[in-house]
């Protein structure tokens, strides 16, 4: 009888020890989880225009890939060239920015570098009032842009130059804040005569009676358009943070290609597209534009620098490679990551 009691108490003690150990494991797990949560590195990433060109930021954010890689990211819409100033002042740590927008301050001494490149050509439409039939009709007309020096300004100047026009002498450039809808409204109201309009917004212009004079996508102008930009300060101070940011975007490309539902939801949310047909078309454009390996293009930066050289003499002798820092992309590439997701 006594032996039975000892056996029972021994079993109870064993179960108690197991229960205590299990509870300790759960507690430790919770503490680790809370610790990781509090240790997430906080970042602000800005973008200048709600267009398909910056959609990889939205897809990556909506897929919670930043959080997966230990980053707490705040996505900020900072209109036009203001995103450039926010980056230089340190108010944001990274930005989706054009090569032209980051190259100009870099030539002036700012420590900006493009660490990934997503869009390597313009896809905008040159939209004009209905009475304009050919490029030479634009002489003496008014060009609508968001802000001097921003993407719509530089892109339009590039096209006009290729048509033999002098943007500074042949046209008057007017700033029209508010994005594509505001410029379409200005065209319709005869306040401006020409502007660059990104898809799918150009369809609204056509519905309003405006014309597409040229599709820049068909012109196939090599350009380093939108890429992910940061400062050398951040790269030097927190290389692992930048590494995890680039990895998040790389994973975002995979999600964009394999999860159309999530990608379309992100496009709809940030671009406010409600038409299913427009949404499908925008998604297919995004899938076509963004490469699996998002390296900035040196040829595209050469075009950027050639355009800037008219006003910034230092651009004439600048090396395009000095405007990029692809060490983190190269790490992923050597690991075989991109080859794996492209299968």
Domains of the chain from N-terminus onward: 41-121+223-341 (3.40.190.10), 125-219 (3.40.190.10)
Report, in this order, helix, strand and coil percent for the chain, each rounded to 5.
Answer: 55, 15, 25
Mean pLDDT of 299-309: 93
Q: What is the pLDDT of residues 172-200, one digit of tens each?
A: 999 998 888 999 999 999 999 999 999 98
* 3-class state of residue 173 by DSSP: strand
CA torsion angle for 130, 119, 292, 96 (degrees, to 10)?
Answer: -130
The least confident of 145-149, 191-195, 200-204, 297-301 is 145-149
Element spanning 139, H or E: none
Mean pLDDT of 54-62: 98
With vertex at residue 297, the alpha carbon angle to CA 167 and CA 310, rounded to the nearest 5 degrees, is: 25
Mean pLDDT of 80-108: 92
Mean pLDDT of 101-111: 94
CA torsion angle for 179, 184, 187, 192 (degrees, to 10)?
Answer: 10
* Predicted local confidence at residue 16, as pLDDT: 45
Distance CA 20, CA 204 (A): 66
Backbone angles phi, psi at 41, to 5 degrees: -80, 130
Taken in order 5, 10, 13, 19, the sign of the CA dihedral is: negative
Distance CA 245, CA 235 (A): 11
Mean pLDDT of 226-231: 97
Q: Are 343 and 258 in contact (CB under 8 A)?
A: no
Write out the two tokens for 73.
Answer: 């990211």
Distance CA 174, CA 212 (A): 19
* Predicted local confidence at residue 341, as pLDDT: 75
Residue 67 predicted with pLDDT over 80: yes
Mean pLDDT of 45-71: 96
Taken in order 206, 98, 121, 287, the sign of the CA dihedral is: negative
Q: What is the mean pLDDT of the chain?
A: 88
How many Cβ atoms from other residues are within 10 Å of residue 168's Cβ?
12
* Predicted local confidence at residue 15, as pLDDT: 42
Query: Which of the pair, 259 or 14, is modelled with greater confidence?
Result: 259
Output the pTM of the full model: 0.80
């Amino acid at each position: 009888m006594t032996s039975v009691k000892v056996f029972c108490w021994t079993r109870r003690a064993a179960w108690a020890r197991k229960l205590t150990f299990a509870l300790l494991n759960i507690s430790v797990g919770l503490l680790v989880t809370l610790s990781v949560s509090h240790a997430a590195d906080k970042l602000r990433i800005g973008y200048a225009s709600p267009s398909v060109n910056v959609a990889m930021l939205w897809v990556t954010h909506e897929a919670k890939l930043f959080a997966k890689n230990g980053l707490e990211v705040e996505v900020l819409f900072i209109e036009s060239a203001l995103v450039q100033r926010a980056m230089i002042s340190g108010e944001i740590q990274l930005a989706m920015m054009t090569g032209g927008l980051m190259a100009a301050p870099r030539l002036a001494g700012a420590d900006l570098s493009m660490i990934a490149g997503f869009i390597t050509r313009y896809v905008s439409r040159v939209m004009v009032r209905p009475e304009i039939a050919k490029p030479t009709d634009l002489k003496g007309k008014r060009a609508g842009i968001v802000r001097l020096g921003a993407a719509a300004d530089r892109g339009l100047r590039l096209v006009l130059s290729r048509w033999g026009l002098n943007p500074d002498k042949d046209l008057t450039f007017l700033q029209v804040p508010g994005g594509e809808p505001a410029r379409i409204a200005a065209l319709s109201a005869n306040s401006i005569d020409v502007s660059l309009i990104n898809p799918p917004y150009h369809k609204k212009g056509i519905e309003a009676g405006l014309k597409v004079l040229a599709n820049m996508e068909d012109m196939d102008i090599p350009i380093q358009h939108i890429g992910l930009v940061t400062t050398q300060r951040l790269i030097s101070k927190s290389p692992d943070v930048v590494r995890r940011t680039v990895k998040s975007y790389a994973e975002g490309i995979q999600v964009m290609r394999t999860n159309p539902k999530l990608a379309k939801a992100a496009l709809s949310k940030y671009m406010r597209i409600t038409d299913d047909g427009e949404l499908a078309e925008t998604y297919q454009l995004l899938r076509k534009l963004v490469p699996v390996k998002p390296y900035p293009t040196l040829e595209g930066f050469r075009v950027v620098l050639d355009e800037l050289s008219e006003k910034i003499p230092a651009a004439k002798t600048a090396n395009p490679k000095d405007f990029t820092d692809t060490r983190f992309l190269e790490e992923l590439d050597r690991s075989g990551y991109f080859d794996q997701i492209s299968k």
